[in-house]
Amino acid sequence: MPITKAAKEMNVGLTVLKKRCRELGIARWPHRKMKSLKSLIRNVQEMGKGTFEEEGVRKELETLEEHRRLMEENPETELTERTKKLRQACFKANYKRRRLLHHPCF
């Protein structure tokens, strides 16, 4: 959940929550990174449906789920370069698909 919502639910101020997180070694609130990873998992599932490489897609999904589990345990966990490239490729594919939907003459 976003940090502002978390602070409100814990009945503490945003600054207090941030200070406490830094004391515990959490430099940045991981909400956006987690949201991005969940979105990537969903995109890979959708793109993998009905493809020839279902085994490869399944292995990739297992890797992404493992990243998500590790990030839940330790918010400072960095994504691998492979995951970052996959995220960029999915973003690019979605961008191209949206562009074609809005501009059918291209």
Domains of the chain, residue spans: 3-102
Q: How far is CA 23 from the centre of its chain?
A: 25
Closest CA to 3 of 34, 30, 39: 30
Could you read off the pLDDT of 13-32 as tens digits, one per residue? 999 999 999 998 888 898 99
Closest-CA residue to 67 (of 81, 51, 57):
81
Tens of pLDDT along 64-106?
999 999 988 888 888 889 888 988 988 898 888 888 887 766 5
- Quick one: how many helices (H) and strands (E) in the chain? 5, 0
- Residue 45 — very low, low, confident or very high, per pLDDT cuts 50/70/90? confident
Q: How far is CA 54 from the centre of its chain?
A: 21
